[in-house]
Structure 1
Amino acid sequence: MSKVILITGASSGIGKATARQLKAAGNIVYGVSRRLDKMSDLQAEGIHTLQMDVTDEASMVNGVNHILNKEGKIDVLINNAGFGSYGALEDVPMQEAKYQLEVNLFGAARLIQLVLPSMIWHHYGKIVNISSIGGKVAMALGTWYHASKFALEGLSDSLRNEVRQFGVDVIVIEPGGIKTEWAGIAADNLMNISGNGRYKEMATRFAAGIRGNITSSSADPAVIADQIATAITAEQPETRYAAGFMADEILALRKTASDRELDDIMHQQLNIL
């Protein structure tokens, strides 16, 4: 039976791959993004597209209401919109820090608030929050990105226990390295913020690592689309799914290595010690 699915950040990467896969499976898919022009290919493939900015209240309210008025329900919300704000804590302006949390955390939370009443009324729903292995393991120069993803993990755990009584599942997806725009944006952001001054050497090494080994070894976004498809079709989904470059290895190390051991391993991977 087809589901009505809302995917944020559908203009590229994981969001676009997921929209295509779920539409091919026979679902009614709404892909939303700030960049409507970047989704013209999805529209041509029969995927509904809407302009939505997850930092803008009216944009979110109007988008959700449009879908509910047309379809009568939203079965699945996939909170995929997000980006990586990188730079040393000392360097990052607080306005930028707040924007990182607004996009990666508060936007997702507000959309959950907007779709939950319909899900609860239908006694069915799947809320999928795209986190990261960076929501379990933190590295230098990513303070606010990691803060946003650690917070999303905690939000998801608490929410899961609130809404399961209403037939709503909350699922966390933890990608490792994936071939998307994320790495380039994060590296550029890092160099703009901390490419000069006392963190210059570390930032330069880190940016080179993101653009180099990690990007070249990253997995196709389809591997995350597969995990999402598995999660939303399962009668009793797992609470977490992980895939992508180094995802399993890093999450395993999180369970077995000490904090300092893990720090050393991660820094050596990016050659920033």
Structure 2
Amino acid sequence: MTHAVLITGTSSGIGRATARRLSRHPQLTVYATARRTEAVEDLAAAGARTLALDVTDESSMKAAVDAVAAEHGQVDVLVNNAGYGQFGTIEETGLDDVRRQFETNVFGLARMTQLVLPGMRAAGGGRIVNVGSMGGRLVFPVGGYYHASKYAVEALTDALRFEVAPFNIKVSLVEPGLIRTAFGETGSDTLAGTAGASGPYARLNAVADRQMADHYRSTLLSAPAETVAKAIEHAITEPRPRTRYVITPAAKALVQTRRLLGARVFDALLRTRYSGTAD
């Protein structure tokens, strides 16, 4: 008997690495999804089945879940991976951009969860893995709206884990630090789109953009997507998965620093990194 694994957002990065890794398991049938199936054709060659899925579209989400249920009875494992970073200052970022990010990062995740839970309950169990971020535990400047979406994922995951435990449904949260994918480039692009060449935050935006590029290139501060895929595999296959998986040593250090030292000290550390950014 195989278990059906539905993964959102597999056209690149963490989702793609996870689909490839899980497709090697003979007891897992992996459904790799993207808005356009041609973006995941190579995953089909690697052993995954492919489906069109847009987590901002109700009919698309329902159709994908129904397609898996038609073949397997239900989705046994849901990996909520789809998401992206919208960067910019709180003042300068347009709220339409913020709404689009929350539609993908939060509401899409929530709706996919709602759609798979009836089948999991009827089957007597299941797994849900939400891909959050270390950015759900601490905040950097010009990332406030992205961080807000990941803080929301933290809250939803904690509530869900308790609510579905009586139905033998296990829920884990994966919190990557900096992962060497296109995420950093996307974040830089969105920052460029919201920030003017001049203005009250011009220096801050320039420093943040430079640091984002440098940190994502650093092999000391970042890790490959395969590292996250391994954690997701553990959350899916182990009898007692962890509630949280913080990925990369740098992320673990930052999360603990923020937790132990508090807001004032963490703000002081940030000021040393972003010094001289105010006009």
Same fold (TM over 0.5): yes
Q: TM-score range by the shorter chain?
A: over 0.9
Distance apart, 1:269 and its partner CA = 4.8
**Distance across 1 between alignment mates of 2:202 and 2:218:** 24
Pick aligned residue for 1:250 from 229, 249, 254: 254
Partner SS, residue 86 of structure 1: coil
**Distance across 2 between alignment mates of 1:82 and 1:54:** 9
**Aligned residue number for residue 149 of structure 1:** 150
**Aligned residue number for residue 208 of structure 1:** 210
TM-score using structure 1 length: 0.96
Distance apart, 1:195 and its partner CA = 3.6
1:82-231 to 2 correspondence within 5 Å? 82-196=83-197, 197-217=199-219, 218-231=222-235
**Distance across 1 between alignment mates of 2:181 and 2:232:** 17
TM-score using structure 2 length: 0.94
Query: Unmatched 5+ residue regions in structure 2?
Result: none
Partner SS, residue 126 of structure 1: strand
- Code of the residue aligned with 1:139 in structure 2: it is F
Provide, for residues 216-261 of structure 1, a one-character-per-residue CA deviation record: whole Å limited to 9, x for no partner: 3320111101111111112121110111361111111122112121
Tell me if the contact between 2:180 and 2:216 (Cα under 8 Å) persists in the aligned partners. no
Question: Is it true that 1:239 corresponds to 2:243 in the alignment?
Answer: yes
- Code of the residue aligned with 1:208 in structure 2: it is R
Partner SS, residue 84 of structure 1: coil
CA RMSD of aligned residues (A): 1.5
**Distance across 2 between alignment mates of 1:59 and 1:228:** 24
Q: Which stretch of the first structure deviates more once superposed, 71-80 or 257-266?
A: 257-266
Distance apart, 1:213 and its partner CA = 2.9
**Aligned residue number for residue 68 of structure 2:** 67
Distance apart, 1:50 and its partner CA = 1.0
Tell me if the contact between 2:157 and 2:172 (Cα under 8 Å) persists in the aligned partners. yes
Pick aligned residue for 1:265 from 264, 269, 278: 269
Change beyond 3 A, Cα 1:198–1:40: same
Distance apart, 1:263 and its partner CA = 2.4
**Distance across 2 between alignment mates of 1:62 and 1:38:** 18
Question: Is it true that 1:39 corresponds to 2:49 in the alignment?
Answer: no
Partner SS, residue 110 of structure 1: helix
**Distance across 2 between alignment mates of 1:180 and 1:195:** 26
Tell me if the contact between 1:136 and 1:150 (Cα under 8 Å) persists in the aligned partners. yes
Q: Which stretch of the first structure deviates more once superposed, 243-252 or 101-110?
A: 243-252
Distance apart, 1:164 and its partner CA = 0.3
Distance apart, 1:96 and its partner CA = 0.9
Tell me if the contact between 2:172 and 2:243 (Cα under 8 Å) persists in the aligned partners. yes
Question: Is it true that 1:10 corresponds to 2:14 in the alignment?
Answer: no
What is the total number of aligned residue pairs between the two structures? 273
Change beyond 3 A, Cα 1:253–1:79: same
